[in-house]
Structure 1
């Protein structure tokens, strides 16, 4: 068959012929020269014409049958690969051409070593051809071209990091369905795509581990740690034993995975975690596996489990002062959080051990926390921290990751129980220790996770109380959430979404009784719009959309009887590109 009739070259040839000669003559010549070479085909064509079957349909069906027959023969063949060298050479040019590409793909899938190095280089030059290559061929190409492999993986990692659903579940400090969350993470299309590229190839997996270390060193986000953890465990779940057994972090990850699934840290599993770390105790030089272990421990679901465990352990000491031996599990789990928190430092500086915790500072904090937990059980309590409590808490919130995580877990418990006195004394220090621009990734991520989870608890459990109980509104909204919006666009957006959620018939109840509480939401929205952070141009469109949704939602329920139109919010919306729509909405509000 004349190759110039296929692909771009074929199109150019036919176009040139049709423009240079009589089109009818060209078509007849092409049909005669390149039609089906079958006996009596000239008698069959008129019959097919009567059935309104075009030449394209006929030839496509024949081509499909021939290609399938050839692929079936390749798949079932037990012949050595050299028998197919000529066929591969003849069909490789058609890797990027429709149904014909199935033939070289079938050959390369079965005999990945059949292609020469020169043919591999040619495949890389054409993105369409490379995309059509079977995965076995891509792995062979990546092994010879590390930069190409890293470029390909970087695209996947970027998409993973910016996936909104994955970001949402990674910031949830109180996951409801843990098993479902793990399934969502490990069956995510991007994770599946990376697993597909690794397969059971130990060399590609080693290349991926080296690459993800480089990525983490440059961008030490928790999402990279989650991916590191989930990929290892997904390989375990697929029973790719040859692959995961070369990973020195496997034993610790396997134990940790069981703890997270069951949300339990018992003595046995704590001992297993301790044993997994023992091999690194007397290292003479840095091991990349130690950095890998630290990365896995930095996964948010792991550190949330650890911090919640410490808080629950401290509760058991409320009625009886703990002995030194009773505090050992707390110290071990605190060390695990600390190891994860120092993953970047360990990798960057090739440390053999994580920096030690300040024992005196942490012991003082544990004592303060036990005292606060004991106060929560008293009938008469202070609504403010004592001088000693305030001094200790303020001394750790900005600096100590372990203490900060445990303290935030305490506040989330108080929010769950709507313990207003506990919230009144424990929320102010959080406002005093917003992460500065120079803060670590974990400090910022921890605060964002806390605010997302805190507001989710209020939304799910306490919105009616927020609108109907002045003491709840004051402590949670007026003294905490509204002032917190000045810190970042993240909190600002979530607080406005909380306002929107207030305009729900299930929350407001009868509109006749909702006037004052709804007006209060308008006051909060006005102040939030005035003082909330608007320092990130990338998120301004979303803020406009949220404030517009707030105005629209208030107008849409109960026939507009509970609508709001705070002047400052309406002025802010007039800065939006959709100026005319906003002004129309303002006129509607004024007419109402």
Structure 2
């Protein structure tokens, strides 16, 4: 089919023979068996000592496909390990240059299921995947789905609408969860709403997913805050404010200073978090909180942070 053709085209670009080439060879040759043998020699594992060992596999009834598949899987594992190692060794420019070269060579095979994990692994370790490659990934639903969150962040930061599509269901889920508990007739369910410590509460699925989607990316964090602010001003639903605070403190727990240091609400939220955790506000903290609130300009109260 067409998918198969695209995969084969990728191999051709790299000068690797494929099924189509074999078909052509067999169509135009006079001695098919000789042609097949020649094709096997040219495209098999290039290890002289292997040729004499292969007949032993035949004696054991092990198909060549099975043998080649196991060699291939083993090599792919080694390559994945090597890519992860390259991403950590040597000078920064050099290691990324190596990975970029590898991406350039392998990207044409990204649609091939057996090679795809390697291409995805290379992209995951590149802090800046070339724009052209990101566009190709974004345009293909399956590739987009298969790529790591590190690559998706690079796509999202310049595509607010796409990021919004990913975040929106999570925000809906969060509000629903809160309201289902608050409107419940079951007293133990209600007790569970107020009793967990703030740290336990922010282990919730939505907060954790958003934390992972944002990583250390200030731009994505700002986008999420923008969504929350818009939704809060539209609905006046205070759960959006709770989510904003929980998200910030979740990043604080992970010590992501890149974001915490630039969020104007960080110290205020941190202080409040400690008061809730200890179920007590001492004079020093009360003065601290008051100091933050005194800094809010008249008329701007509803969108602090």
The TM-score with structure 2 as length reference comes to 0.73
1:233 counterpart = 2:221: no
What's the counterpart of residue 285 of structure 2? 269
Q: Residues 201 and 247 (structure 1 numbering): CA distance in 2 closer, same or farther, change over 3 Å?
A: same
The answer (yes or no) to whether the contact 2:84–2:125 under 8 Å persists in 1 is: yes
In structure 2, what is the Cα distance between the partners aligned to 1:4 and 1:216? 49
Indicate which of 287, 291, 306 corresponds to 2:303.
Answer: 291
Q: CA deviation at 1:234?
A: 0.7
Higher relative contact order (CA 8 A, sep 6+): 2
Tell me the SS of whatever aligns to 2:80.
Answer: helix
Q: CA deviation at 1:125?
A: 0.8
Indicate which of 52, 56, 72 corresponds to 1:47.
Answer: 56
1:122 counterpart = 2:131: no
The answer (yes or no) to whether the contact 2:182–2:193 under 8 Å persists in 1 is: no
The answer (yes or no) to whether the contact 1:170–1:223 under 8 Å persists in 2 is: no
What's the counterpart of residue 84 of structure 2? 75
Residues 436-458 of structure 1 show CA distances to partners (whole Å, capped at 9, x for unaligned) of xxxxxxxxxxxxxxxxxxxxxxx
The answer (yes or no) to whether the contact 1:96–1:132 under 8 Å persists in 2 is: no
Q: CA RMSD in A?
A: 3.8
In structure 1, what is the Cα distance between the partners aligned to 2:5 and 2:71? 17
The answer (yes or no) to whether the contact 1:233–1:254 under 8 Å persists in 2 is: yes
Q: Residues 270 and 113 (structure 1 numbering): CA distance in 2 closer, same or farther, change over 3 Å?
A: same
Residues 210-259 of structure 1 show CA distances to partners (whole Å, capped at 9, x for unaligned) of 12212333444343222212101111111112211211122221122122
Q: CA deviation at 1:131?
A: 2.5
Unaligned runs of 5+ in 1: 294-592
1:102-113 pair list within 5 angstroms: 102-113=117-128
What's the counterpart of residue 38 of structure 1? 47
Q: CA deviation at 1:29?
A: 4.9
Residues 350-372 of structure 1 show CA distances to partners (whole Å, capped at 9, x for unaligned) of xxxxxxxxxxxxxxxxxxxxxxx
Q: Residues 36 and 163 (structure 1 numbering): CA distance in 2 closer, same or farther, change over 3 Å?
A: farther
What's the counterpart of residue 148 of structure 1? 162
Residues 492-522 of structure 1 show CA distances to partners (whole Å, capped at 9, x for unaligned) of xxxxxxxxxxxxxxxxxxxxxxxxxxxxxxx
Q: Residues 38 and 134 (structure 1 numbering): CA distance in 2 closer, same or farther, change over 3 Å?
A: same
What's the counterpart of residue 489 of structure 1? none
Q: CA deviation at 1:159?
A: 3.1
State the number of aligned residues: 276
Tell me the SS of whatever aligns to 2:262.
Answer: coil
What's the counterpart of residue 198 of structure 1? 214
Tell me the SS of whatever aligns to 1:111.
Answer: coil
What's the counterpart of residue 13 of structure 2? none
The answer (yes or no) to whether the contact 2:197–2:277 under 8 Å persists in 1 is: no
What's the counterpart of residue 116 of structure 2? 101
Q: Residues 267 and 114 (structure 1 numbering): CA distance in 2 closer, same or farther, change over 3 Å?
A: closer
Unaligned runs of 5+ in 2: 11-17
In structure 1, what is the Cα distance between the partners aligned to 2:158 and 2:167? 15
In structure 2, what is the Cα distance between the partners aligned to 1:95 and 1:205? 30
1:525-564 pair list within 5 angstroms: none
The answer (yes or no) to whether the contact 2:103–2:119 under 8 Å persists in 1 is: yes
The answer (yes or no) to whether the contact 2:214–2:221 under 8 Å persists in 1 is: yes
Residues 397-434 of structure 1 show CA distances to partners (whole Å, capped at 9, x for unaligned) of xxxxxxxxxxxxxxxxxxxxxxxxxxxxxxxxxxxxxx
Tell me the SS of whatever aligns to 2:116.
Answer: helix
The answer (yes or no) to whether the contact 1:96–1:128 under 8 Å persists in 2 is: no
The answer (yes or no) to whether the contact 1:105–1:133 under 8 Å persists in 2 is: yes
The answer (yes or no) to whether the contact 2:99–2:126 under 8 Å persists in 1 is: no
In structure 2, what is the Cα distance between the partners aligned to 1:82 and 1:277? 49
Tell me the SS of whatever aligns to 1:200.
Answer: coil
1:120-519 pair list within 5 angstroms: 120-163=134-177, 167-168=180-181, 174-175=191-192, 178=195, 180=196, 182-280=198-296, 283=297, 286=300, 291-292=303-304
The answer (yes or no) to whether the contact 2:252–2:260 under 8 Å persists in 1 is: yes
Find runs of 4+ consecutive structure 1 residues off by over 6 angstroms. Answer: none
Q: Residues 275 and 173 (structure 1 numbering): CA distance in 2 closer, same or farther, change over 3 Å?
A: farther
Tell me the SS of whatever aligns to 2:271.
Answer: helix
What's the counterpart of residue 14 of structure 2? none
Q: Residues 215 and 58 (structure 1 numbering): CA distance in 2 closer, same or farther, change over 3 Å?
A: farther
Q: Residues 125 and 6 (structure 1 numbering): CA distance in 2 closer, same or farther, change over 3 Å?
A: closer
The answer (yes or no) to whether the contact 1:169–1:181 under 8 Å persists in 2 is: no
